[in-house]
Amino acid sequence: MEDLIFIHPLWVIVVDYVLGVIMWTLIGRSAMNLFLSEDSDFFFMRIFVKFTNPILRVFRPITPGFLIEPLVPLFVAWFFFLIRFYFMPWLLGYSVMGMLSFPLESDIAKILYDLSGSGR
């Protein structure tokens, strides 16, 4: 399997990593919010809230008012997924990139595959 750096330009990898980290952080906040309140003293919850609140403020004007508060980060994460799955391939001139072709997730899958010993 070729390295992603040879398939995609470096700026694509960097932009996808940034968008992917934001997306997964928002998903993590939604998941933790099922068990903890936003004002919890748990370290990871405070970090998720601190890093995602500015993003949620930007998306507040287009967030439907009927959404319950714990689902708002998941709704915003959906926009980042759409950007990564539809806009980035269109920008690069691809018709379809396919599932698991996201650079961030592909690298994580490769690391897990190597750690499991299946890559030998």
Domain-embedded: residue 46: yes
Residue 77 is which amino acid? A
**Residue in this structure with the two tokens 């806009």, named with its chain if needed:** 87
Q: How far apart are CA 30 and CA 103, in angstroms?
A: 23
Q: How far apart are CA 31 and CA 70, in angstroms?
A: 8
Query: Which tokens belong to 85?
Result: 């799955």
Report pTM: 0.77
Domain-embedded: residue 31: yes
Residue 1 confidence (pLDDT): 44
Residue 76 near residue 67 (C-beta atoms within 8 A): no
Which range has the top average pLDDT, 15-19, 95-99, 103-107? Answer: 15-19
User: How many domains are there within the chain?
Assistant: 1
Query: Which tokens belong to 51?
Result: 């890093």
Between residues 2 and 45, which one has the greater pLDDT?
45
Q: What is the pLDDT of residues 28-82, one digit of tens each?
A: 999 998 888 888 899 988 998 999 999 999 999 999 999 998 899 999 999 998 8
Domain-embedded: residue 2: no
Domain-embedded: residue 23: yes
Range of the domain at 110: 9-115
